[in-house]
């Protein structure tokens, strides 16, 4: 895929980077990514995907910008208060990198519309703030065969994983689904929202930027060093310690999407 002289200069630090190079940058330009949520996690993820040169970026969010968002949702400005987050985010991306196609979807993803939308992109990033949407997105990605980078944050902690349940791992077993990691959502009301507990603003930047990094890894096919990504691994970050931990998880044959019972149907 050809680059203009301006693009070659813009992406020069990627093009000379062993593990990405010109071929990797061409893959980024040819790729399409759907980001679910233009909030705390989606904001940095969108900016870094745009800066990296992902050719087509979709934004899903049915919310509007409020003043309390600006403590962490760095893609929006005071001038955007009251506007749809999709519109505000799209304009910010255009200011950062005009060499991209940006598509906005000011809707809430549901079991009825998720598969059709996600199926038009190469990879999805889920930065939503509720369990219902996380299950909708992860189930849809599994069914249409799209990789998913899923992130979440609490007050001072965050987590990140990559899901490719439509593929098998090196051991020949299916890769795990989101439901292998979290079989069921927590009971209603048992998980407080960030409006109730608060959230450290810069924490969303850490996890959101790492979501973009993992998406880049998936698009370019790894960084050429043989290192594994986050398929089958949950990366945990505690901002208070601070420390990172990685927990492995595996395919659960009882999961309803790719388990043995599902295969028998």
pLDDT at 104: 98
- Tell me, what DSSP letter sits at residue 26? H
CATH code, domain carrying 123: 3.40.50.720
Domain assignment of residue 2, yes or no: no
Instruction: Quick: pLDDT tens for 1-31.
Output: 789 999 999 999 999 999 999 999 999 999 9
pLDDT at 161: 98
Total structural domains within the chain: 1
Instruction: Quick: pLDDT tens for 210-234.
Output: 999 999 999 999 998 777 799 999 9
Domain assignment of residue 132, yes or no: yes
SS3 106: coil
Q: Give CA–CA dist 82/70, Å, rounded.
A: 12
Which range of residues forms the domain containing residue 57? 31-264
pLDDT above 70 for 190: no
pLDDT at 99: 96
Domain assignment of residue 7, yes or no: no
pLDDT above 80 for 144: yes
Domain assignment of residue 140, yes or no: yes
Count, residues in the chain? 265
Mean pLDDT value of segment 36-40: 97
pLDDT at 170: 87
Domain assignment of residue 178, yes or no: yes
Domain assignment of residue 103, yes or no: yes
Q: Are 112 and 106 in contact (CB under 8 A)?
A: no
Domain assignment of residue 17, yes or no: no
Domain assignment of residue 105, yes or no: yes
Phi/psi of residue 237, each to 5°?
A: -125, 125
pTM of the model: 0.96
Least-confidence region, from 135-139, 180-184, 212-216: 180-184
């Amino acid at each position: 895929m050809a680059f203009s002289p301006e693009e070659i200069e813009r992406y020069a630090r990627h093009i000379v980077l062993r593990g990405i190079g010109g071929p990797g940058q061409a893959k980024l330009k040819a790729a399409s990514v759907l980001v679910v949520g233009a909030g705390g996690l989606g904001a940095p993820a969108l900016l870094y995907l745009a800066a990296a040169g992902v050719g087509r970026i979709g934004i899903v969010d049915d919310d509007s910008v409020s003043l309390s968002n600006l403590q962490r949702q760095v893609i929006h400005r005071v001038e955007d208060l009251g506007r749809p987050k999709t519109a505000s985010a799209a304009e910010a991306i255009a200011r950062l990198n005009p060499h991209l196609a940006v598509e906005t979807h000011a809707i809430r993803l549901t079991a009825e519309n998720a598969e059709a939308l996600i199926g038009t992109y190469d990879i999805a990033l889920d930065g939503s703030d509720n369990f219902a949407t996380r299950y909708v997105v992860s189930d849809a990605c599994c069914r249409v065969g799209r990789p998913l980078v899923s992130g979440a944050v609490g007050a001072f902690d965050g987590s990140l994983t990559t899901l490719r349940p439509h593929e098998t791992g090196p051991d020949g077993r299916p890769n795990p689904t989101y439901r292998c990691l979290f079989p069921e959502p927590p009971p209603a009301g048992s998980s407080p929202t960030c409006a109730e507990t608060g959230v450290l603003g810069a924490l969303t930047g850490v996890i959101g930027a790492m979501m973009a990094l993992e998406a880049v890894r998936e698009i370019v096919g790894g960084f050429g060093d043989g290192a594994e990504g986050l398929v089958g691994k949950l990366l945990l970050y505690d901002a208070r310690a601070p420390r990172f931990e990685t927990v492995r998880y595996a395919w659960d044959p009882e999961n309803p999407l790719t388990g043995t019972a599902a295969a028998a149907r």
